[in-house]
């Protein structure tokens, strides 16, 4: 087989506003991010193509740096041309930010070494109609020192079974969290005017996350920050492994998948076999 006749595997960095979608994963009779990408890539491949994501995001959850893989049986142009071809047919709330060619055996889930999520919270102030899709507005007051201490409880290697949502159980619920912190932010509307209330971003980096884990952590930390639970309660929840003892699941609209990490070897292409 000639080098230019080989199927090529691509790493797509995808951003989207998840408000109008049922989530990442294909669902019958519903719009999903995955189905939109597959619809657009199919004519480029000349046949149906499965676009595999680094993980599924729920309805209403957004992404700045979701990663997806697609394999094209024949694509002779470069990655920039592929990015343009895909983006030209996507709806306005989905965009491929970058395309890189990878090794044939690249797997966006198995090869991932880490992820970063962010969750946006507005404390008090009136609801802004333009931020409503992207921020979880909660009543105050909030003890920010308690929130930071609560976030620190999750750093390290722990069993997060108590924070796993039902419906996507994993064989192991042990995960390592590298960092977790609340960051104050200045939020502005479309005209540049500063929005009312206090605005915070929760940023968490880890080797991987369970289904609904970040939103369940948020709901639990807010219980502490609003004085409904003591800080030590988090230790009890972690030790229990019981989802019913943790805080409520925070709404999806504040959550963003920001980054998925991979080793450099993923992008070191194998030398193709050259026909004699």
Q: Which residues are catalytic?
A: 58
Alpha-carbon distances, residue 28 vs 32, 35, 52 (angstroms): 10, 10, 17
Q: What is the CA radius of gyration of the chain?
A: 21
Which 3 state secondary structure label does DSSP give 130? coil
Query: Using an 8 Å Cβ cutoff, are 207 and 175 in contact?
Result: yes
Cβ(112)–Cβ(261) below 8 Å: yes
What does each C-alpha distance from 226 to 30, 148, 154, 162 come to in angstroms? 37, 13, 18, 20
Is position 117 annotated in a ligand binding site? yes
Provide the 3-class DSSP secondary structure of residue 267.
helix
Which letter does DSSP use for residue 58 in this model? B
d(CA 33, CA 20): 10
- β-pair partners for 188: 194
Q: Which of 248, 245, 239, 243 is nearest to 159 (CA)?
A: 239
H or E segment to which residue 127 belongs: none
Do residues 124 and 198 make contact, with C-beta atoms less than 8 angstroms apart? yes
Residues making up the annotated binding site for substrate are 117
Residues making up the annotated binding site are 117
């Amino acid at each position: 087989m000639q080098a230019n006749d080989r199927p090529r595997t691509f790493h797509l960095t995808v951003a989207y506003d998840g408000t109008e979608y049922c989530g990442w994963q294909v669902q019958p009779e519903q719009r999903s991010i995955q189905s939109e990408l597959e619809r657009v890539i199919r004519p480029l491949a000349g046949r149906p193509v499965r676009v595999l994501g680094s993980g599924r995001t729920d309805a209403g959850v957004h992404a700045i740096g979701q990663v997806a893989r697609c394999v094209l049986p024949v694509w002779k142009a470069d990655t920039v041309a592929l990015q343009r071809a895909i983006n030209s047919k996507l709806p306005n709330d989905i965009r491929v930010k970058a395309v890189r060619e990878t090794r044939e055996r690249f797997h966006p889930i198995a090869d991932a070494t880490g992820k970063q999520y962010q969750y946006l919270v507005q404390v008090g102030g009136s609801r802004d109609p333009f931020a409503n899709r992207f921020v979880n507005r909660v009543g105050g007051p909030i003890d920010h020192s308690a929130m930071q201490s609560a976030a620190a409880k999750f750093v390290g290697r722990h069993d997060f079974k108590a924070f796993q949502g039902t419906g996507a159980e994993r064989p192991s619920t042990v995960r390592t969290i590298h960092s977790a912190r609340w960051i104050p932010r200045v939020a502005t509307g479309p005209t540049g005017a500063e929005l009312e209330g206090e605005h915070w971003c929760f940023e968490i980096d880890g080797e991987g996350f369970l289904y609904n884990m970040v939103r369940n952590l948020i709901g639990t930390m807010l219980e502490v920050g609003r004085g409904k639970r003591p800080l030590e309660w988090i230790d009890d929840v972690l030790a229990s492994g019981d989802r019913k003892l943790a805080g409520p699941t925070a709404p999806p609209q504040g959550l963003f998948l920001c980054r998925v990490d991979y080793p450099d070897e993923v992008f070191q292409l194998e030398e193709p076999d050259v026909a004699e």
